[in-house]
Amino acid sequence: MANVTIIGAQWGDEGKGKVVDWLASRADVVVRFQGGHNAGHTLVVGNQTYKLSLLPSGLVRGKLGVIGNGVVVDPVALLAEIGRVRAQGLNVSPETLRIADNAPLILPLHAALDAAREAARGARRIGTTGRGIGPAYEDKVARRAIRICDLAEPETLDWRLDELLLHHNTLLAGLGAPTFGKAELMDQLLALAPQILPFAEPVWERLAEAKKAGARILFEGAQAVMLDVDHGTYPFVTSSNTVSGQIAAGAGVGPDAAGRVLGIAKAYSTRVGSGPFPTEQDNEIGRHLGERGHEFGTVTGRARRCGWFDAALVRQAVKVGGIQGLALTKLDVLDGMTTLQIGVGYRIGGETLPHLPPGAAAQAKAEPVYETIEGWSGSTRGARSYADLPAQAIKYVRRIEELVECPVTLLSTSPERDDTILMQDPFAD
């Protein structure tokens, strides 16, 4: 059986949690390979709702969860999340969760710098979650990060903190923000070490063994392609690569390990935070989509901006993300809307473009080119086969397939796990 990689095909919040949970029941190992606790998955299982940020979703199904080295880990947030889900009855222990020993840590100074920078940007703020993700990735590539393995070496922590504070306190002082003391941070890290280190190991070795044994591995992406630091709507992006190619570097596996790549997209579009959103509907339509879809961020609680499905954007995500099949979620939110629109391109001045240009100024000027399609009066909610769908809903799905140049292989018609229509098994060879 093949491995499966799941990534978002829009700006995140596409309903990946349900799809990952649905597929995790058939996987042996579930791996997070990028991002941090700025990601959020909501899983509804029976009468329990789990809100996960760092923990791989497969833990809910009793599967081995792995946090790869491509993830930046806030140890305090991780332990708090473990405590929350344990209180809900989940077994999270070193037997069920493994964390890459070379994963970088997020410290309080990272969140402080994140917040200070956003405040300094004013009207040009990016809209980060303020959780220190970007500054932690900066430290990683600048070779001054403190990693999980360093928690076992107090002598390493000592000189690394000197280097880290020299950099961060200089920036914080320049931004008029409070600085940090070494002794307090050292005490905090030494107290966290015995709680975190039992989960740590070279996960690349475990994943190599799982592959050799023929285990099914599910790679779980965070955020989405259009938030990728290289391929997204820069600078209004996250600080990691979110495309499927990142699993090799972010989990310590070969590029062939990705298996089948499934992209998740809503039947409409949403975005949290700042940045271009050509098909946004800042009007009654957008409010209707937000209310019907319960569009609030799992991590931030912020209301999501809502708009029409942008096929040009998803087509770009399909190509750069290596997506082979699309999972379309929240189709039921469109029930009862008499007329729908799909973005098929962009117009800037007198020029029509098939995809968003890379420049921020050009992206801000891009106006959508729409194709109008008839809606449907029947209900798709809870449908579990194509026979249960209104004919016009099927036409809508088929048109999306044509425009994004990728088959829709899975349809989600409610938050419930079993309200799913599967056209093609992503785990099949």
Residues acting as catalytic residues: 13, 41
The beta strands (E) that lie in 91-226 are given as 97-100, 200-201, 217-220
Secondary structure class of 262 (helix, strand, coil) = strand
Is the CB of residue 222 less than 8 Å from the CB of residue 39?
Answer: yes
Give the distance from CA 15 to its chain's centroid. Answer: 10
For 60-99, b/e burial (b = at least 16 CB within 10 A) is bbebbbbbbbbbbbbbbbbeebbebbeeeebebeeebbbb
SS3 for 6-65, per residue? EEECCCCCCCHHHHHHHHHCCCCEEEECCECCCCCEEEEECCEEEEECCCCHHHHHCCEE
266: how many CB neighbours lie within 10 A of its CB?
Answer: 27
Beta 217-220 vs 29-32: how paired, if at all? parallel
Q: What is the CB-side half-sphere exposure of residue 116 using CA atoms within 13 A?
A: 19
Secondary structure class of 412 (helix, strand, coil) = strand
Distance between CA atoms of residues 48 and 51, nearest Å? 10
